[in-house]
Amino acid sequence: MGSLNEAKPKKTLSNSNLLFLIAAVIFVLMYLFAIISYPESFLQFQTFFDLFNLNAPLIIMTLGLCLVMIGGGIDISIGSVCGLVTMVCAVLLESGIGSVGGALLLALAIGIAFGILQGYLIAYLKIQPFIITLSGLFLAKGLLTTIHKDPINVTMSAFVSLRDYKITIPWLGTVNRLGNFIPCEIKPGVIVVVVLVVLLAALMKWSRFGRNVYAIGGNSQSALMLGINVKRTIFFTYVICGLTAGIAGFVFLMTTGAGNVGNAALFELKAIASNIIGGTLLNGGVGNLLGSPIGTLTLLIINELIRASGVQSNFQAIVSGLLLYVFIVLQSVVMSLRGRTKFRIALPPWLRPPRLPGKKKAENQG
């Protein structure tokens, strides 16, 4: 009878799900604020879909980087690898000797090659991820400028057809000023994003590999004692990250239709920021793959709000930096509150309130 009357333990949200929930709520609030502030723009369905249409490469890179960050690593070469893939594929297609399928395979091969090289050096030779991926950044940038320095517009008919292809949603759209109904359009890059989100989210949630990544990011020594192959798991996170960088490069080429030296500039920093906003901790072990696109969209919404208000573009970087500070502090506060029964904010001595003599005496007697 006593066991039947015992209260069942309450299920609590994990740190990853809690931070994801906070990121999702902030995104919804930001989008509602955008709708209220600029209804003529953000109230249109196409505006929301364009966030995916124009930024699919960034979201794809963010997904791959999320796996690495959950495992406790970092990869700052993905933006340069994406730019290299874009330029190499543009040169191949414009030369007349390649096909769209061949360019796609080349993009995947370049991304996987960088992932294998960097993953091996980090996982098996135990070199710091920042140093290795910084070297990969310089290598990709050097190859990019060596292959071609000028922008290349791809005019191959098969590729142009793929670039201009759009999926129309006939039952969803807006009515323009002339009273004509304009349906919403989605580019193929959005389909790639959806497929990758489903596959990688399922991989991280229901596979042994995903559980191993979380365990290694939490404590690699404990994971090793549990029999997890730490080196192999870390290696495959970088391979997947390189693969997504290659996919992002081809999608970027489909989005812009041209190869350029400046393609995907600073995308690695935006991807890191998006993952932090989405609830992924830099020290690893905590993160939700679904938070990556949420964090990216939040960052994009803020930039769109600044652009719609007519403020200078330099202000976007300022706001993005301040936003990162806010999210990092918020994550630290949330993790501290969940990890301790009493949460105290560390203040400098000159900001601490004076302690009463009677209280100090009582504490000493206790």
- Domain at 69, CATH number: 1.10.3470
14 domain residue, yes or no = no
Mean pLDDT computed over every residue of the chain: 84
For the stretch 153-189, pLDDT in tens is: 888 888 888 888 888 888 877 777 777 777 888 999 9
67 domain residue, yes or no = yes
**What local confidence, expressed as pLDDT, does residue 308 receive?**
78
Contacts of 304 (CB under 8 A, 6+ apart): 34, 42, 51
3 domain residue, yes or no = no
**What local confidence, expressed as pLDDT, does residue 215 receive?**
94
Asked whether the predicted pLDDT for residue 317 surpasses 80, the reply is no
Residue 213: CA atoms inside 13 Å, Cβ hemisphere, count? 29
Band of the pLDDT at 78, cuts 50, 70, 90? very high
**What local confidence, expressed as pLDDT, does residue 362 receive?**
47
Residue with tokens 């096909």: 99
87 domain residue, yes or no = yes
Supply the range of the domain harboring residue 320.
35-338
Distance CA 297, CA 300 (A): 5
Residue with tokens 């191949």: 92
The mean per-residue pLDDT over the stretch 256-274 comes to 82
User: Domain total for the chain?
Assistant: 1
114 domain residue, yes or no = yes
360 domain residue, yes or no = no
For the stretch 336-359, pLDDT in tens is: 776 664 444 454 555 455 554 554
Report the share of the chain in percent with pLDDT over 90.
42
291 domain residue, yes or no = yes
137 domain residue, yes or no = yes
